[in-house]
Structure 1
Amino acid sequence: MKGKIQVFAGSMMIPVILLVVAGIFIGVGAAFANLDNVNALHLGWLIQEGNFAHSFFKVINDLGFMVMRFLPVFFAVGIAFGLAKKEKGWSALGGVVLFLGLNTVINTMLTINNLTPDTTSIEALVGAGYSELDAKNYNSLFGYNLSIFSYNMGIFSGLIAGVVASIIHNRYCEKELPNALSFFSGPRFAQILNFIVVIPIGILLYYVWPYIGLGLAGLSNFITASGLIGTFVFGALDRALLPIGIHHLIAFPIEYTSVGGTMAVDGTLFEGVRNIMLAQMGSSTETEYIVRNFTTGRILFHFGGLPGAALAIYLTAKKENRKKVASLLIPAVSTAVLIGVTEPIEYTFLFVQPLLYFLIHVPLSGLSYVFTEMLHVSIVGTAVRDVFPNLLQPDKVHALSLLFLIPAYFAAYYFSFRWAILKFNIKTPGRDDGMSGIKLYSKNDYQSQKESAVSEEFALDNTSAKSDQISGIIKALGGKDNVVHITNCATRLRVEVKDETKVDTDEKWVNELDAKGVIRSGKSLQIIYGAHVIILASHVKDELDME
């Protein structure tokens, strides 16, 4: 079950990638499409109302908002694609069919019961006896999906469509029919079933979604009412769940759904803190980003905390080993600061002493969200790669508190880690005699220690990829016939195999195949490679003849 949850979490990252692109387009487009901002940047001589440059940036801005407008569709396609084990294109098509079909069935049921845009308007509901508040709450249940009047389910409609489509596809994409009907065999048969299954699911959603919608509103209100306590719990859980690879499931609903709240920006209602901030970025009337965004806290341990911990590891290493330790820590810290990938350092804490992670890093990371919210820090992005839009619209950013929060977090991590390492003689990289202890550790090291209580050390191989790496990966997975399903998330290959005993040793993956680590969960594996994994996954799937 855990393996399936991890695959689902990885699949959700497929459509989320589009939001990264959308953020860049909105940040750049909005900055130069807003003439007031253009004048503030002293670029009025180049960008003027209606000229080519101004029109170009409006196009860029609108393309960014296009992603947000059709996000449920992208989730339907992305989830169906990511969860499919083979013939992924057919599964993605099924996601679209399910999405449109669900909304069409719901639209028909609404019409039958005289629930139309006119009868569900706030004015009509007030006229029918609703209070203004009740009328607004009831009206919020409805909306348009690709011009189909239906329930306003946000990305949940896309998630439901994508998951159902992938289940049907994986179950029936190899179904063989009698010769007379052979044209409809395989993935075509799955498409036929989509049209059948969508009817009962759509009718069911018609009846149950109002209760689900009210429940989500209640959850959103609870999160809002929980204040800083809820913020701390979220931040701590985000890190605490990292070792099992499902931390995305905590952040995802708050960042992209109504669970994280709703806000009208320039007359359009947006759901989820990330979507709201992107809308504020693209607005010419909004003056700041929301403060309670459940993301800004990461800046403190990306820019301050983890570098401080790294310095503590460096200075507590034996003097003769420090040069080697620095050669490992500097790239790891740079990765955390520049692109927000923190796994190499965090999994080192987990392996050498889990208490460093769970008793120091987890609570301090939870508090980082609290401090940025308390001091009203509002900024887009948590790594250098994300902060460019802030430079184009500095008036919307409130980040002066970071000038002392980041150094404070650097100091807090440095002194707490240095104290713990020396007090309990923790064998962080470089503290062993000789050169064997000068290594960063990975998720697989922590998992192996947890499951078997046998600790093994692995070096983080920083050599370039070998020419036979792809064939080596396939061989290490037990060969082509042993691979059932392979996909990737932001930094990891996610693989399902027939026989896990045929998968090569962890030493092979780390020392010869350039992996940063492996985590095993029965027949499911996560092999950590870093941000370039998408290219690697594409080559491996080509070699396996998998989509």
Structure 2
Amino acid sequence: MMKYLQRLGKSLMLPVACLPVAGILMGLGYLLAPTTMQGGNAEASVALILGTFFVKAGAAIIDNMSVLFAIGVAVGMAKEQDGTPALAGIVAWFVIQTLLSPGFIGVLTGGEVDPAFNKVNNQFIGIMSGIVGATCYNRFSGTKLPDFLAFFSGKRSVAIVTALISIVLAAILFFVWPLIYNALVLLGESVISLGAVGAGIYAFLNRLLIPIGMHHALNAVFWFDVAGISDLTKFWAGTGTYGVTGMYMTGFFPVMMFGLPAAAFAMYQCAKPERKKAVVGLLASAAFCSFFTGVTEPLEFAFMFLAPGLYVLYAVMTGITAAITVMLPIRAGFSFSAGFLDLFFSSQTPLAQNPWMIIVVGLATAVVYYLVFRIAIVKFDFKTPGREDEDVPVTTDLKGDAAFVAYAEKVLEGLGGKENITSVDNCITRIRCEVVDSSKVNDSILKAAGAKGVLHPSNTAVQVIVGTQVQFVVDELKKLLK
């Protein structure tokens, strides 16, 4: 079950990867449009048109995230990278949306419609549709039918089976969806009722779930239209409440832009003198990635498994930082993650509230994180990068195809060779593999290749933390496996 959930978490990143361009487009649009509304000259009119154009272009992505989830999850969960699962996912989506639409439900019930059916166009249903599409593909893509039905054999049968199963699923959801929806709403309302404290609890749990990759499921409840909160979509669409919307995103900015880079500096200073040169590249590049883009996994995985106690402390500090930031009040949002790029573009949106106060809070956060990390590392002798008992050579400079090939060859060796690997894929920062015999996996070889961490979620699952360049390593690894 855990392996399945982790695979689902990975597949969610495919549609989420569409969000940055939506944020940039809408940020540019809001940057242009509010300025032009103050004047009536020809230039203002042109800017207004351009601003509106960009906002609508970005909204085209944000407003259809549920459909993107149906397609992305179907592709991500399928056993092969093929277009058929995407088709199956969208078939499931259309069938379920039609059969659970308020109009059709009204016909079935004689006019009485549960309010839950007004919210079937959401990311949760999109994820379910994607799972149905991928499952049907994995199970029926090799189906052989009699000669007179041979045209519908194999992959052509997938969409047909998906439609039939989706009808059954819609019938089940007719009774179950109101219960699921109301439970999700109750969860959301419980956290919302806690205000800034609730935002802090959410941020704490978000960080705590990262090691198993399940923070995406938690995010869906607060960021998208699963429980009616829609913090992310309402913020960018400008349809939320000023001073409220954005509270489940704002608290991450001081941590990702300032707190974690300061923690990286503390880890560098606490490294053994002879190891500082070896880890400076790793920590510096990860810190910049966290500040500029908000991608924190390269840095978090650098100490997550070396010093799990320090990571729990970091999660607690993230929760506290988020609660304080929300209390001030400050509101900002992100389309992808809480880095400088998203802060700049989100500051132009109508629901942004004192967004540049994040810099003030962030500087204070940097001081606190630096002091806490440095004191904790020294006092408890946490084995952060550069303080390991064994000196492991680390390769961090990946430039050019030859470097990716060399990295992939080392990973292949560390995973026990071609015969030991049954499947390989990746998310934003991790290589996700299924192996035949986990005892053949050599963590030391993987770390020597440059891996920032190695995770064993189950007896046959292995995750190698590479960083944001993981796609190029996996591409070369797949070539070697062929």
Contact map agreement 2:72 2:86 (CA 8 A) in 1: yes
Counterpart pick for 1:141 among 98, 101, 116? 116
> What is the match of residue 82 of structure 2?
88
**Map of 1:20-419 to 2, 5 A cutoff?**
20-32=20-32, 34=33, 36-38=34-36, 47-49=43-45, 51=46, 54-86=48-80, 88-107=82-101, 109-110=104-105, 112-113=107-108, 138=114, 140-143=115-118, 152-259=120-227, 261-262=228-229, 272-280=230-238, 288=242, 290=244, 293-317=247-271, 322=276, 326-358=280-312, 360-381=313-334, 382-390=338-346, 392=348, 396-399=352-355, 401-419=357-375
Distance, in Å, in 2 between the alignment partners of 1:457 and 1:277 is: 47
The 1:345/1:45 distance shift into structure 2, 3 A limit, reads: same
Task: Tell me the residue number matched to 1:11.
Answer: 11
Question: Of 444, 460, 469, which residue of structure 2 is paired with 1:532?
Answer: 469
1:304-343 per-position Cα deviation (integer Å, ceiling 9, x unaligned): 3223323333444456665555444322221211122323
Separation (CA, whole Å) in 2 of partners of 1:189 and 1:491: 35
The CA deviation at 1:374 is 0.8
Structure 1: give runs of 5+ residues left out of the alignment. 121-137, 144-150, 263-271, 432-436, 438-454
How has the CA–CA distance of structure 1 residues 538 and 94 changed in structure 2, closer, same or farther, with 3 Å as cutoff?
A: farther
Q: Distance in 2 between matches of 1:228 and 1:395?
A: 17
Match of 2:454 in 1: 518
CA contact (8 A) 1:332 1:344 kept: yes
Matched residue type, 1:294: Y
Offset, 1:77: 0.8
Q: Report if the CA contact (8 A) 1:289-1:379 is conserved.
A: no
Aligned pairs, how many?
Answer: 473
Deviation, 1:10, is: 0.8
Q: Secondary structure of the equivalent of 1:399?
A: coil
User: Which range moved further: 77-86 or 464-473?
Assistant: 464-473
- Contact 1:288 / 1:398 at 8 angstroms: preserved in 2? no
What's the CA shift for 1:396? 3.5
Q: Distance in 2 between matches of 1:60 and 1:256?
A: 21
480 and 90 in structure 1: CA distance in 2 versus 1, 3 angstrom threshold: farther
User: One-letter code of the match for 1:198?
Assistant: S
Identity of aligned residues (%): 30
Cα deviations across residues 490-539 of structure 1 (Å, max 9, x unaligned)? 2222223444455x522333333x43332123222222222233344455
Alignment CA distance shift 1:405-1:182 (3 Å): same
CA contact (8 A) 2:256 2:339 kept: yes
Contact kept? 1:220, 1:258, Cα under 8 Å: no
TM-score if structure 2 supplies the norm length?
0.86
Q: In 2, are the aligned partners of 1:496 and 1:523 still within 8 Å (CA)? A: yes
Equivalent position SS for 1:175 = coil
The code of the aligned residue for 2:333 comes to V
Structure 2 letter corresponding to 1:385: L
Instruction: State the match for 1:463 in structure 2.
Output: 397
- The structural deviation recorded for 1:391 is 5.3
Where 2:295 maps in the other structure, the secondary structure is coil
Distance 1:61 1:534, change over 3 A: farther
Measured in 2, the distance between the counterparts of 1:178 and 1:279 equals 51
Give unmatched runs, 5+ long, in structure 2: none
Counterpart residue identity of residue 233, structure 2: N
Residue 440 of structure 1 corresponds to none
Alignment CA distance shift 1:111-1:460 (3 Å): same
Could you tell me the TM-score, scaled by structure 1's length? 0.77
Which runs of at least 4 in structure 1 moved beyond 6 Å after TM superposition? Answer: none
Task: Provide the residue aligned with 1:449 in structure 2.
Answer: none
Asked if structure 1 preserves the Cα contact closer than 8 Å seen for 2:455 and 2:464, the reply is yes
Retained in 2: the 8 A contact 1:78–1:92? yes
Q: In the TM superposition, what is the alpha-carbon distance from 1:234 to its structure 2 partner?
A: 1.5
Cα distance between partner residues in 2 of 1:103 and 1:185:
27
